[in-house]
């Protein structure tokens, strides 16, 4: 994984001022996910096909079938846990809703929109 300080991070246009949200860094090789408010909590890397499955499953409110993470609700929070169990990212309802709204609008369909960038 490249150093996270060299990645170009972005959030949904629906997040308040681009803060406190699901934060993503697309590259030519992978898409990286972290929590903008807690970047030291860890980063999860997805291949592009696994990322597409993650976004599709999140949009549909299903458990993730991407082989990289599990998506679960814990009270009002959505928790994304890496399959290895070494990273757990917890997003409150506002943060996850902003991500889902962006996903619905195709903001995170990187391979289809040419938004893949290198950091």
In terms of pLDDT, which residue wins out, 65 or 18? 65
Q: How many domains does the chain have?
A: 1
Q: Which of 18, 96, 92 is nearest to 55 (CA)?
A: 96
Say if 118 falls within a structural domain. no
Q: How far is CA 43 from CA 60, 75, 104, 105, 108, in A?
A: 23, 23, 23, 24, 17
pTM of the shown model: 0.85
Say if 27 falls within a structural domain. yes
Q: Are 3 and 9 in contact (CB under 8 A)?
A: no
Say if 119 falls within a structural domain. no
Say if 8 falls within a structural domain. yes
pLDDT bin (cut points 50, 70, 90) of residue 114 is very low
- State the Cα–Cα distance between residues 118 and 40, nearest whole angstrom: 21
Q: List, as one string, the DSSP characters of 71-82.
A: EEEETTEEEEEE
- State the Cα–Cα distance between residues 64 and 56, nearest whole angstrom: 9
For residue range 12-62, list pLDDT tens digits in order: 998 876 566 899 999 988 999 999 999 999 999 999 999 999 999 998 888
Domain that holds residue 25: 4-113
């Amino acid at each position: 994984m490249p150093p996270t300080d060299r990645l170009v991070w972005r959030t949904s246009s629906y997040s308040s001022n681009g803060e406190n949200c699901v934060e993503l860094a697309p590259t030519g090789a992978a898409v990286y996910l972290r929590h903008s408010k807690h970047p030291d909590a860890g980063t999860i890397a997805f291949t592009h096909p696994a990322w597409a499955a993650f976004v599709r499953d999140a949009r549909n409110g299903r458990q993730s079938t991407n082989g990289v993470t599990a998506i679960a609700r814990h009270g009002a929070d959505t928790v994304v846990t890496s399959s290895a169990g070494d990273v757990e990212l917890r997003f409150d309802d506002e943060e996850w809703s902003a991500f889902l709204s962006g996903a619905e609008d195709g903001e995170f369909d990187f391979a289809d929109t040419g938004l893949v960038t290198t950091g």
